[in-house]
Amino acid sequence: MSGNSKKRFGVSVPYHVAEKLDNLAGLFHCDRSTIVSNALNEYIHENLHEDREHKCRGVIVVYSQSPLPSSIISRYSSVITSYSVHRMGNGFIIVIIVEGSSKLISELRRLVSSGSKIQRYLPLDDLNVLSQ
């Protein structure tokens, strides 16, 4: 299969999501498939690269009601290279720079996401998972 070939599949989404998708497509002057494909690429990049153990680098961004407990910072200090907390309104934006075992980073992500409103991970390594 070439890199430009496509596979068609149907996806059902709630009506309000479809409306927002249509609005976004109009805003960016593109079709819904382009937006869905880009969103899936981001999701895959954020999550699929974890399927095998490797040395990983990335940034975890969390929006939470409270900072992380120091016990979590201590437990994952082998992969946390930087940690900062910023108060915003009634919550906290937490930025964690990580490097090391992808297994430990995944554990840390799961742990911080369970107590947060929003958690995103931006992997900075290039494993070419999107082209496989």
In the CATH scheme, what is the code of domain 53-125?
3.30.70.1150
pLDDT digits (tens, 9 = 90+) for 68-106: 999 999 999 999 999 999 999 999 999 999 999 999 999
pLDDT score for 129 = 43
pLDDT score for 46 = 73
pLDDT score for 87 = 97
| pTM, entire model | 0.76
pLDDT digits (tens, 9 = 90+) for 20-65: 999 999 999 999 989 998 888 888 877 766 667 888 899 999 999 9
pLDDT score for 50 = 61
**pLDDT above 50 for 130:** no
SS3 121: strand
Q: Where in the chain are the domains?
A: 15-47, 53-125
Of the spans 3-17, 65-79, 103-117, which averages the highest pLDDT?
Answer: 65-79
How far apart CA 69 and CA 71 sit, in angstroms, is 5
Q: At 56, list the tokens.
A: 């990983």
pLDDT score for 49 = 60
Among the listed residues 51, 64, 63, 61, the one whose alpha carbon sits nearest the alpha carbon of residue 106: 51
